[in-house]
Homo-oligomer: A and B are copies of this chain.
Amino acid sequence: MIVVMRPGASETEIDGVKKLIKELGLKDQVIVGTDLTVVAAIGDERLKDCAVMEQAPGVSKVMRVLAPYKMAAIETTGNQRTVVKLSETCVFGGKQVPVIAGPCSVEGEQEIMEAARQVKASGAHALRGGAFKPRTNPYAFQGFGEDGLKMLAAAREETGLPIVTEVLTPSDVELVSEYADCLQIGTRNSQNFKLLEACGKQPKPVLYKRGMSMTIDEYLQAAEYILAEGNPNVILCERGIRTFEDHTRNTLSLSAVPELQTRSHLPIIIDPSHGTGHARLVPSMAKAAVAAGADGLAIEVHQDPKHAMTDGAQSITPDQMDGLMVNLQRVAEAVDRECIPVEQMLGQV
């Protein structure tokens, strides 16, 4: 931590800062500049509330030196990338770029079964579908709950695709964990720390979406809630942030891919459906994500988007998905990755 003093700060003020630094269990080192004095605090500041130093007389500002996360940091694994496996043909963090596809919500037994068959035929590697839905509007469809989980399990039975589904609250974690191959924590719960903890205590991998107003530091720090409980299988998912830009539902900055890969060992995937909010923009951004080096994709697909119960505007059709998968494979190869359709992988296994 670096404490910048005001120009003309007195010796007494500098001594006050040195005392506070010692109280925090850190060591101080004073740097006398031409315009002002700076006091460096040496030691592990990650658990300290550095900002409090602002309240000491004569202090102008305080700057952190260490990123505030530990287990998520790439140094922790000696630059080894974490590999998260949902099934033999759906592994995140390696050369292959798996695609999770399916409808926003599980809309019925037949619907999800049909969706599973279609996304498999397109080449996708996992099936998504919400049984518990966090709806902005309290009067809107909230999902089928446990029945939805059963429908997903039946679709997995039939297609072999692992299933990814959202969990909304700690008391549902055990239930969802029984059925799902991967638990999703959505953007609205990105700082629901009790939920993160609960997901850290169960054995299934966690797909943890970035909050729409979280910085990268806050995101990795919150991911520690899962890691710190003993679950190392965390997949990060960028789905766009909230900005003034209104032609998209969210603003999807793909620079988060190389940035997160530099800072953390966890795989990072992209959700171009929520990231744009419009089906017409999804294929371009999916291809761009793979070109940027993403470790996977999560894409909303619906047989009949106009009649989807949720998120229809951003769902592409199975036909569009077929075409997109062909293109993703080409782009993956152009950047020395692979996006081999699941059926073809199964032929190889």
| A→B interface (CB under 8 Å) | 2, 4, 7-8, 20, 23, 29, 31-36, 38, 40, 42-44, 46-47, 49, 51-56, 63, 65-66, 68, 70, 75, 134-140, 168-171, 188-189, 191-195, 197, 211-213, 215-216, 218, 221-222, 224-225, 228, 241-248, 251-259, 262, 275-281, 284-285, 287-293, 305-313, 315, 327, 330-331, 333-335
How distant is A28 from chain B, measured CB to nearest CB, in Å? Answer: 10
The 8 Å CB contact of A262, one of B75, B251, B280, B285, is B280
How distant is A198 from chain B, measured CB to nearest CB, in Å? Answer: 9
- A68 to B138 Cα, complex, angstroms: 10
- A54 to B68 Cα, complex, angstroms: 20
The 8 Å CB contact of A169, one of B43, B53, B169, is B169
Would B34 and A247 count as touching, CB distance under 8 A?
Answer: no
Would B259 and A306 count as touching, CB distance under 8 A?
Answer: no
Can you name the residue of chain B whose Cβ is closest to the Cβ of A262? B280
- A252 to B245 Cα, complex, angstroms: 11
- A213 to B276 Cα, complex, angstroms: 17
Can you name the residue of chain B whose Cβ is closest to the Cβ of A63? B63
Can you name the residue of chain B whose Cβ is closest to the Cβ of A279? B55
Would A310 and B49 count as touching, CB distance under 8 A?
Answer: yes
A29 surroundings in chain B (CB, below 8 A): 31
Nearest 10 pairs between A and B by C-beta? Answer: A52-B312, A213-B213, A291-B291, A188-B191, A51-B313, A288-B292, A169-B194, A330-B334, A288-B288, A334-B334
Can you name the residue of chain B whose Cβ is closest to the Cβ of A169? B194
- A225 to B135 Cα, complex, angstroms: 10
Known: A36-B66, A52-B313, A284-B293. 10 other contacts (CB 8 A): A8-B75, A47-B137, A68-B136, A138-B222, A138-B228, A188-B192, A211-B213, A252-B255, A262-B280, A291-B331
- A224 to B194 Cα, complex, angstroms: 23
A256 surroundings in chain B (CB, below 8 A): 247
Would A255 and B243 count as touching, CB distance under 8 A?
Answer: no
A259 surroundings in chain B (CB, below 8 A): 247-248, 281
A213 surroundings in chain B (CB, below 8 A): 211-213, 241-242, 244
- A11 to B335 Cα, complex, angstroms: 34
A53 surroundings in chain B (CB, below 8 A): 306
Would B65 and A305 count as touching, CB distance under 8 A?
Answer: no
Could you name 13 residue pairs across A and B whose Cβ atoms are closer than 8 Å? A36-B65, A40-B40, A49-B308, A49-B310, A55-B312, A68-B137, A135-B193, A188-B193, A213-B241, A241-B251, A254-B284, A287-B292, A291-B291
Would B254 and A138 count as touching, CB distance under 8 A?
Answer: no
A42 surroundings in chain B (CB, below 8 A): 31-34
The 8 Å CB contact of A55, one of B168, B244, B255, B306, is B306
Most buried by B among A2, A52, A53, A63: A52
Can you name the residue of chain B whose Cβ is closest to the Cβ of A228? B138
A305 surroundings in chain B (CB, below 8 A): 52, 55
